[in-house]
Amino acid sequence: MTTEIARLQREFLEYMEIERGASLKTVRNYDHYLARFIEMTGVSSPSGITDEVLRSFRLELNRSPGVFVKGQARATMKKNTQNYYLIALRRFLKYLMKRGITSLSPDRIELAKVGGRHLDLISKDELSRLLQAPSDMLAKEADEAVAVKYLRDLAILELFFSTGLRLAELCSLNRDLDLSKDEFSIRGKGEKVRVVFLSDAAKEAIRVYLAKRKDMDEPMFVQVSRNTSGTDRRLTPRSIERIVREYATRAGISRKVTPHVLRHSFATDLLENGADIRSVQVMLGHANIQTTQIYTHVTDRQLKEIHKKFHSKR
């Protein structure tokens, strides 16, 4: 027998997908977090969600085991993971309030405090070596079929740094990009559309790569193996992660480099060259300025230089 809370959970997920335009991944995550909440608390109706139930749920989350790491004792669930559950529950309670259904006020949910996010960054010199690495390999390659791979990889790296695209966004691109313009629109998280901008280096890398392609496949970035004819050749996110990692190794970068590190490099490069943080927020597609503020270490450093230059000139 379906309980009232289970029915409302289903209606909420449908509302998020259809009316709010949430991605299927977000809907699945909300489904998981809310199902765990209902299972752990045993509530069967919205009125059963009380301050006491919330407190017990938070204690249970805080004492839950986290991800097991081989060779180490299993730690408890991380604070930011706990917050995913609380965010889903708060969003559900806001939905109930909107429908006039009596339950706990969403304002009663405070997120767990977490430490500041650590940014994995590479230096300007490391970035330069990374972007140069495919060209270095290309210069040594006589096989035209293999050369296309290096041209493709150069276009991927230049595009990441030029646009700040997320990995999934870059994977979704098709080859019909209008290279006569310096910008194009991309549909990102939450189905939100934003404009991103192409540098001359990125446009040229894409143009040369596409000119060398022998196929007419729709995706922008495809596998170049001779054994992939007749299959879906679009590069997967995991394949692109491997490509970035490969060139980081070739460039002599010892730390882990991912597509998201290049997104960080894009943002910090803008800020270091004078862009304001709200403009960077828009270009990254962040819904909330607080997400972009992880980059304030850059502006903080600029403030230090301004202070040193202009303060107390006696």
Q: Kindly report the pTM of this predicted structure.
A: 0.70
CA atoms of 209 and 96, how far apart (whole Å): 51
Element holding 183 (H helix, E strand): strand 183-187
- Is 198 part of a structural domain of the chain? yes
Domain boundary among 57, 84, 108: 108
Element holding 261 (H helix, E strand): helix 259-272
- Is 118 part of a structural domain of the chain? no
- Is 18 part of a structural domain of the chain? yes
State whether 24 and 167 are in the same domain. no
State whether 103 and 139 are in the same domain. no
Determine the pLDDT at residue 9: 95
Domain boundary among 108, 140, 167: 108
CATH number at residue 129: 1.10.443.10
- Is 113 part of a structural domain of the chain? no
Query: Can you name the residues that pair with 184 across neighbouring β-strands?
Result: 196
**Residue 260 annotated to the active site:** yes
What is the number of domains present in the chain?
A: 2
Active-site residue, from 20, 189, 212, 250? 189
State whether 84 and 129 are in the same domain. no
Give rounded-to-5 percent helix, strand, coil for the chain: 60, 5, 35
State whether 155 and 232 are in the same domain. yes
State whether 97 and 179 are in the same domain. no
Determine the pLDDT at residue 159: 97
State whether 99 and 156 are in the same domain. no
CA atoms within 13 A of residue 98's CA, in its CB half-sphere: 10
**Residue 307 annotated to the active site:** no
Domain of 195, in residue numbers: 124-307
- Is 114 part of a structural domain of the chain? no
State whether 193 and 283 are in the same domain. yes
Determine the pLDDT at residue 48: 94
- Is 90 part of a structural domain of the chain? yes
Q: Which of 245, 247, 265, 264 is nearest to 256 (CA)?
A: 245
- Per-residue b or e along 106-131, where b marks 16 or more CB atoms closer than 10 Å to that residue's CB: eeebeebeeeeeeeebbeeebbebbb
Active-site residue, from 149, 152, 166, 264? 166
Domain boundary among 74, 108, 142: 108
State whether 32 and 131 are in the same domain. no
Ramachandran angles phi, psi of 238, nearest 5°: -65, -40
CA atoms of 302 and 314, how far apart (whole Å): 22
CATH number at residue 33: 1.10.150.130
**Residue 10 annotated to the active site:** no
Determine the pLDDT at residue 234: 93
- Is 290 part of a structural domain of the chain? yes
Active-site residue, from 152, 203, 263, 264? 263
**Residue 79 annotated to the active site:** no
State whether 189 and 262 are in the same domain. yes
State whether 141 and 230 are in the same domain. yes
- Is 117 part of a structural domain of the chain? no
**Residue 311 annotated to the active site:** no
- pLDDT digit of tens for each residue in the chain (314 aa)? 578 999 999 999 999 989 888 888 889 999 999 999 999 999 999 999 999 999 999 999 888 876 544 455 456 788 888 999 999 999 999 999 999 999 999 999 988 776 656 677 889 999 999 999 999 999 887 788 789 999 999 999 999 999 999 999 999 999 999 999 999 999 988 778 999 999 999 999 999 999 999 899 999 999 987 565 556 789 999 999 999 999 999 999 988 999 999 999 999 899 888 888 899 999 999 988 888 888 877 667 666 676 677 766 65
State whether 160 and 210 are in the same domain. yes
State whether 85 and 155 are in the same domain. no
**Residue 295 annotated to the active site:** yes
Place of tokens 């202070």: 307
